[in-house]
Chains A and B, each alone.
Chain A
Amino acid sequence: MSDGQLVGIVLVSHSAEVAASVAELAKGLAGGGPAVPVAPAGGTEGGGLGTSSELIAAAAASVDRGAGVAVLTDLGSAVLTVKALLAEGDELPEGTHLVDAPFVEGAVAAVVTASTGADLAAVEAAATEAYTYRKV
C-alpha cells in the first residue's frame, strides 16, 4: 500500500509550542534517514491554548503521502477532537489513525519507525509500545 512512501505523523497538543517542539525533537532524534513528514497542530487558530480542528485537518493533509497518517495527541479536547473528526468521515485523509501513545515518547518512536519506511501498523505499534518504557 505504501509504495515506498513514508507514513505521515501529526502531533496535536493544546499548545502550539509543545506541538512544534515535540515535532522538532522527534525529527532530531530520528537522525539522518529519509525525512519523515511530521506536522504539528498545536493550540487554537488564534494562538491560544486549546484544539483546532482546522489546524489538525490541515496538518494531516500536509503529511499524507498515501501511506497513512498517525495522529498523536496530548489530552482532553485534543483526543476528543481527533476522534470526532475521524467519526465525521471526510475531514481527515484516508488511512488516518489516532494512536494511543504517550505524546513525547510516542512521537519519537513513531517518527524513528516511520523513517525506516515501516507501514502505519508498525509505526502505530512502536508509538503505543512507548507506554511500556518505565523510568524507575
Chain B
Amino acid sequence: MLDADFFRRWMTATAASVDREAERLTALDSPIGDADHGSNLQRGFTAVVAVLEKEAPKTPGGVLTLAGRQLISTVGGASGPLYGTLLRRTGKALGDADEVSAEQLAEAFRAGVDAVMTLGGAAPGDKTMIDALVPAVDALDDSFTAARTAAEEGAVATTPLQARKGRASYVGERSIGHQDPGATSAALLVAGLAEAAGE
C-alpha cells in the first residue's frame, strides 16, 4: 500500500529531476515554444516541495491536491494549470484514504490524465504531454517501471510529430524534428513515481 510519504517522495523526486533537467527542458522549448518550460516547472516544483514540508498533508489525496494547487498558482505558463489539474484530479480521485493501492493510484491517475485532455483539448498524437502520459497510464497496470519506460518512449516518439496544440502549433511544420518539452517533463513526473517506489 502507498501512504502519504510515498506521494511526498514522488513529488520530491520529480522536483529533483526537474531541477536537474531544467536547462534541457528550456532548450527543447526554445525552437518551438517560448523557452520557459524548464524554469517555469523548476519554480513550480520547488514551491510544491516547500508547501508539502510546511503543511504536511496526511493522506495521498491531500499531498496531490495541495501539490496541484501550488503548481497552478506558481508556474505562470500553460504547464501550471495542466500539471496542476493532473495532480489535483488524481488526488481528488484518491479521496481521503490514509493508504491507497497501486491499482487505485493507476485508476486515479487515469482520471487525472482525462482531466488534462479535457482542459487542454489535446489528444494523443498532438505532440503534447499527453503523448507521454497516456502510454504511462496504460502501462501503470503492470508496474511503475513499465510506466516510466512507456512515458520515456512516448516522449521520444513526439519528435517526428507536428504540433497541433499550444504555441508550438503556430510554427507548423517547423515543430517536426523536435522532441516535445511537455512530453519530456511528463516523463520526468512518471519517472519520479518509479523512483518513489524504489524501482
Chain A residues close to B by CB (< 8 Å): 44, 48-54, 76-77, 80-81, 83-85, 87-88
Contact = CB atoms under 8 A, between A and B. Distances in A.
Given A76-B166, A76-B167, A84 B85 contact: yes
A84 B78 CA distance: 10
Interface of B: 34, 36, 40, 69, 72-73, 76-82, 84-85, 88, 119-120, 166-167
Contacts of A76: 77-78, 166-167
A83 to B, nearest CB: 6
A87 B80 contact: no
A77 B80 contact: yes
B73 to A, nearest CB: 5
B77 A84 contact: no
Given A77-B78, A84-B84, 15 more contacts: A51-B80, A52-B76, A53-B72, A53-B73, A53-B80, A76-B77, A76-B167, A77-B76, A80-B78, A80-B80, A80-B82, A83-B81, A83-B119, A84-B72, A88-B72
A48 B82 CA distance: 20
A87 B76 contact: no
14 contacts: A44-B76, A48-B76, A51-B80, A76-B166, A77-B78, A80-B80, A81-B81, A83-B119, A84-B80, A84-B81, A84-B85, A84-B119, A87-B119, A88-B72
